[in-house]
Amino acid sequence: MKREQLFETLEPPPFGLERLRARMAERRRRVSPLVLIGVVASALVVLLAWPKPPNVDLVALARASAAAPMVGVTSGDDVTALDETGVLRLASQNPDVSLYRVASLKQEPRD
């Protein structure tokens, strides 16, 4: 079957586009300045009242973890804390190679 046989071509109603434009023009209204002020004030209240995440000591958590011996973290390891990130230098057989284990609580958006 041909496409013309499957789908019937319908004509728009008379003056349909003009009526649509007239209705759309009626609906256009300006937003009240009071509404905009209320939205901005609400956003500020939410931003200021939002709880801040607590500081987490990743070094202490890594050393106190029950899994610490399994991943090679012991109490004598040189673990460095940077903001919300913990860095542990791992031993390497090659002196020209440096390996680090990094753990972070902060998630950066990926591009």
25 located within any domain: yes
Contacts of residue 75, defined as CB under 8 A and 6 or more positions apart, other chains included, come to 63
pLDDT band at 18 (very low <50, low <70, confident <90, very high): confident
Residues 72 and 44 in one domain: no
**What average pLDDT score do residues 6-18 get?**
82
**What average pLDDT score do residues 10-39 get?**
82
**Tens digit of each residue's pLDDT (9 = 90 or more) over 56-84:** 776 677 667 666 666 566 555 565 665 66
Structure confidence at residue 22 (pLDDT): 84
110 located within any domain: no
Whether the per-residue pLDDT at 41 is higher than 90: the answer is yes
SS3 annotation, 48-82: HHCCCCCCCCHHHHHHHCCCHHHHCCCCCCCEEEE
Q: Which amino acid is at 87?
A: V
Whether the per-residue pLDDT at 30 is higher than 90: the answer is no
111 located within any domain: no
Residues 9 and 31 in one domain: yes
Sign of CA dihedral 71, 72, 73, 79: negative
Residues 8 and 43 in one domain: yes
Residues 92 and 74 in one domain: yes
Residues 40 and 64 in one domain: no
85 located within any domain: yes
Query: In this structure, which long-range contacts are made by residues 68-75, counting pairs with CB atoms below 8 Å and at least 24 apart in sequence?
Result: 71/101, 72/101
Residue span of the structural domain in which 15 resides = 3-49
